[in-house]
A and B are shown apart, each in its own frame.
Chain A
Amino acid sequence: MTSTSPALSRRHVLQLGGLGAATLALGISAPETAGAAPPPSGELFRLGVASGTPRPDSMVLWTRLAPEPLAPDGHGGMPTERFGVHWEVATDEAFGHVVRRGHALAQPELAHAVHPKVTGLRPATDYFYRFRAGGSTSAVGRFRTLPSARATPDRFTVGVVSCQAWYHGHFTAHRHLAAEQDLDLVVFAGDYVYEYGITAANLWRQGVAVDPEHAVEVQTLEQYRLRYALTKSDAHLQALHARVPAVAIWDDHEVQNDYVGGSSAYGLDDATFAHRVAVAYRAFYEHLPVDVEALPTGPDTDITTGFDVGRLARFSLLDTRQHRDPVPATEEDRLDPARTMLGARQERWVTRRLDESPATWNVVASGVVLTAVTDDRTDQWDGYPAARDRLLETMARSRNVVVLSGDIHHAVATELRADFADPASENVGVELICTSVASDGDGAPLDDYAPDWLQHDYVKLYDGRRGYLTVSLTPEQMTSTFVHVDWVEADDAAPREVLARFVTPAGRSRLVQA
């Protein structure tokens, strides 16, 4: 849990969890002489490129060598050897002015993914990057470094997406988000992949077919790798990653539906389930441009992170899966003041970040919805009311808190009250819940769940179609724009339509329809 992480922390040197220090470090930076074997011929960068873990002076780049991304063994068509990958960063798209270059090792232990960390960059500066291996050159990605700690940028805009059930529909939302003119970062708010088997019953994405190995529930490392490869083979997702840096939190489907802490919801004991958690967490690290702190030690890892956008915004990205208490067995359990969603350490961490923030806006990303909806939604913060109250108390002390979440496959906007049961209670923040990119297929504006949400006057928007959310922050106000697409199952041609736009003035936790 860090706000800035070293390339290779003491924790990872001491506790390597199945990867040697050399393996881990060489996936980030390696001498030119390492990995002398020539890579296989053919296009090696078919899973695209990505950048992430943004900082004023650094960025993590990502790619994975995979000439056959859907090879059933999960190794992407790569031999089980190590290969050198060159990267370079330039200030121009033609790479006439390269400012950084380096070399990393693509190793079979990490599915030939590399995570070079580029340092020494200038703040608030646009850069372009690409990889080379063998005779292949990757697509060009771009990123803008964060502003320096003392700067106050005029504007910072993030896209928010979640719930990428590849089989339920096309990633039309990503096509439109990648084309947004004003975009600095994308937040993946959970369920980047789904573990379910893909069969005729749930393959609603038309015009595609999958081989039989995709038909079973994902369980082994090779299957998780294959599922990430399938998801990341989508051209629109690749375009989005190439367009802006990404940060990611997870929810349950990166491992298994409704898992809680180290426990499966499906009858396995924890010691046995830990084997699956370990490979699922590993695959997450392998496929996202995350910091080395996210590399798991067996079934344990740390994806919680945070960063500041100068003095304009502070982002805190939470892990609401790994440290939570079990599903409450009784109402007394649910109301237990000791129940935790974040675990004590993470809760202290986010409390400190909110208490000490110098920023105008304080953005908190949560894998599940914070807003009070109904008491039986125990997978959300509704199952952890005491922990929610503690977070709301912290938010009340802080400034302009904005919670970003997903999970529910609906676009929802709410005002967060200090006490949801008291209509006179003051607002302590707002929650912007992005709908799914594809999960649940086309969807509809209203459905059977709508009354649960719309019974509350603090819920200002509810819609069950696919899409994304953009959040534009300035020193004076936040503008949140909910975008939807009318269909995703038939094809990726649905036009972009603005569903709703809200303005939140700095200093007032309200959603004003714009």
Chain B
Amino acid sequence: MPVRPSPRPALVTGLAAEPAIARTALRWRSLGFDPLIDHYRVHAVPGSQGRFEPGPGNLVAKTVYPQLVHHVDPRGETWTYRVLAVSDAGRTGRASEPLVASSSASVVATGRPVATIGEFDGRTLEHRFAPSGYAQIPAAYPDAVVEYVQGTDTPAAAWPYLLPGPGDAWAGRRAYTARWRFDLAEAPAGDHDLAVWLVDTTRLGGTLRVSVGGAALADVDLPPGGTRGSRDGDATVPGTALVRSYHELAVPAARLRQGANEIELVVADGGWVAWDAVGVFART
């Protein structure tokens, strides 16, 4: 019987990128199961570099899936990517043609912070009960309302890391409300932006209803997430099961006023959200 090693994985083709806030979503064609692909290696170098040589120094991730979300600086970055496959036998295929892709800038980086809760850092850790004390939330907030006053409260004391929703049996299947009050010294001269960064959501996804000053601003579709943010607080760990999402909404100047302002965030459908941070930013 001839003994021949299994073939090297084929060349990865179809590499494409979708720019997004603080990240670039990469996809490529699956190489299927013959030979079985142990994983794909995504190599990247900053900027537009052409045909760089993949190596350990520019390996940004391994993934079994023919896709990857590369999290980058919120100011927006350009990277050059190449992807190759490794087979079950440990054999390495040829790297794809390079792809240059840029992420979108976030208001967190481009705007001037007016009011924020938490750090925009991919972690829930600064928030109350983080990273895994979710079971305490229903008792601490029996009315399903979280109140947070900017300048008085702190994330560690007054902003629980999860906001539960109707899909959460452990929290009484209620739509929790987070009510956030902050003062503006003067009426805003221009439009602002509201950044809602989430470290994770549940497999249920859902809707985050956002209102400003008592009037609806938007219903944010929550993507199905990793359902791990209730237990894990750091989405920056390589290979994390947490699924971050970024939501940035324009807040017209007319919706804000001098003095007291109020933003409400309600998980109207679906399961909890795990906060990274929220913030109102003036455009610069």
Closest B residue by C-beta to A21: B1
Q: Which single member of B1, B5, B91 contacts A31 (CB below 8 Å)? A: B1
Interface flags for A1-33 (1: CB within 8 Å of B; 0: not) read 000000000000000111110110110001100
Q: Which single member of B1, B90, B227 contacts A265 (CB below 8 Å)? A: B227
Q: Evaluate contact between B224 and A266: CB separation under 8 angstroms.
A: yes
* Assembly CA distance A23 to B3 (angstroms): 8
Closest B residue by C-beta to A281: B36
- B-chain residues with CB within 8 Å of residue A82 when the two chains form the complex: 3, 5
Q: Evaluate contact between B63 and A18: CB separation under 8 angstroms.
A: no
* Assembly CA distance A127 to B33 (angstroms): 38
Q: Which single member of A18, A197, A268 contacts B34 (CB below 8 Å)? A: A18
Residue from A20, A25, A73 with most neighbouring chain B CB atoms (10 Å): A20
Closest A residue by C-beta to B233: A201
Q: In this assembly, does B93 line the interface, its C-beta being within 8 Å of a C-beta of chain A?
A: no
Main SS at interface, chain B: loop
Closest A residue by C-beta to B224: A267
* Assembly CA distance A298 to B37 (angstroms): 10
Q: Evaluate contact between A80 and B36: CB separation under 8 angstroms.
A: no
Give the contact-size bracket for chain A: 35 or more
Once A22-B4, A265-B227 are accepted as A-B contacts, the answer to whether A275 and B239 lie under 8 Å apart by CB is: no
Q: Which of A55-113 contact B (CB under 8 A)?
A: 73-75, 80, 82, 105, 107-111
Number of A-B residue pairs having CB atoms within 8 Å of each other in the complex: 133
Q: Which single member of A17, A22, A108, A276 contacts B2 (CB below 8 Å)? A: A22
Q: In this assembly, does A328 line the interface, its C-beta being within 8 Å of a C-beta of chain B?
A: no
Q: Which single member of B37, B67, B90 contacts A108 (CB below 8 Å)? A: B90
How far apart are A211's CB and chain B's nearest CB, in angstroms? Answer: 13
* Assembly CA distance A254 to B238 (angstroms): 21
Q: Evaluate contact between A278 and B36: CB separation under 8 angstroms.
A: yes
Closest B residue by C-beta to A282: B36
Once A19-B6, A22-B2, A219-B239 are accepted as A-B contacts, the answer to whether A299 and B33 lie under 8 Å apart by CB is: yes
* Assembly CA distance A355 to B36 (angstroms): 39
Q: Evaluate contact between A34 and B1: CB separation under 8 angstroms.
A: yes
- B-chain residues with CB within 8 Å of residue A20 when the two chains form the complex: 4, 6
Q: In this assembly, does B39 line the interface, its C-beta being within 8 Å of a C-beta of chain A?
A: yes
Q: Evaluate contact between B33 and A216: CB separation under 8 angstroms.
A: no
Interface flags for A166-210 (1: CB within 8 Å of B; 0: not) read 000000000000000000000000000000010001000000000
How far apart are A478's CB and chain B's nearest CB, in angstroms? Answer: 38
Q: Which of A331-351 contact B (CB under 8 A)?
A: none
Q: In this assembly, does B181 line the interface, its C-beta being within 8 Å of a C-beta of chain A?
A: no
Q: In this assembly, does B226 line the interface, its C-beta being within 8 Å of a C-beta of chain A?
A: yes
Closest A residue by C-beta to B30: A275
How far apart are B252's CB and chain A's nearest CB, in angstroms? Answer: 32
Q: Evaluate contact between B64 and A279: CB separation under 8 angstroms.
A: yes
Q: Evaluate contact between B39 and A220: CB separation under 8 angstroms.
A: yes
Q: In this assembly, does B70 line the interface, its C-beta being within 8 Å of a C-beta of chain A?
A: no
Q: In this assembly, does B215 line the interface, its C-beta being within 8 Å of a C-beta of chain A?
A: no
- B-chain residues with CB within 8 Å of residue A108 when the two chains form the complex: 5, 88-90
Q: Evaluate contact between A221 and B241: CB separation under 8 angstroms.
A: no
Main SS at interface, chain A: loop
Q: Evaluate contact between B3 and A22: CB separation under 8 angstroms.
A: yes
Q: Evaluate contact between B243 and A26: CB separation under 8 angstroms.
A: no
Q: Which of B216-261 contact A (CB under 8 A)?
A: 223-228, 231-232, 237-241, 243
How far apart are B155's CB and chain A's nearest CB, in angstroms? Answer: 20
Q: In this assembly, does B38 line the interface, its C-beta being within 8 Å of a C-beta of chain A?
A: yes
Q: Evaluate contact between A217 and B66: CB separation under 8 angstroms.
A: no
- A-chain residues with CB within 8 Å of residue B91 when the two chains form the complex: 80
Q: In this assembly, does A444 line the interface, its C-beta being within 8 Å of a C-beta of chain B?
A: no
- A-chain residues with CB within 8 Å of residue B226 when the two chains form the complex: 266-267
Once A18-B88, A278-B33, A298-B33 are accepted as A-B contacts, the answer to whether A219 and B64 lie under 8 Å apart by CB is: yes
Once A108-B89, A221-B64 are accepted as A-B contacts, the answer to whether A279 and B38 lie under 8 Å apart by CB is: yes
Q: Evaluate contact between A221 and B36: CB separation under 8 angstroms.
A: yes
Q: Which of A248-293 contact B (CB under 8 A)?
A: 265-268, 271-272, 275-276, 278-279, 282
Once A25-B1, A35-B3, A201-B132 are accepted as A-B contacts, the answer to whether A220 and B63 lie under 8 Å apart by CB is: yes
Q: In this assembly, does B141 line the interface, its C-beta being within 8 Å of a C-beta of chain A?
A: no
How far apart are B140's CB and chain A's nearest CB, in angstroms? Answer: 19
Closest B residue by C-beta to A217: B241
Q: Which of A202-234 contact B (CB under 8 A)?
A: 215-217, 219-222
* Assembly CA distance A461 to B37 (angstroms): 45
* Assembly CA distance A215 to B223 (angstroms): 25
- A-chain residues with CB within 8 Å of residue B88 when the two chains form the complex: 18, 108-111, 221, 282
Contact sample, A vs B, 5 pairs, CB 8 Å cutoff? A18-B34, A216-B239, A266-B203, A266-B243, A298-B36
Residues on B lying within 8 angstroms of A by beta carbon are 1-6, 30, 32-39, 62-67, 86-91, 131-132, 169, 203, 205, 223-228, 231-232, 237-241, 243
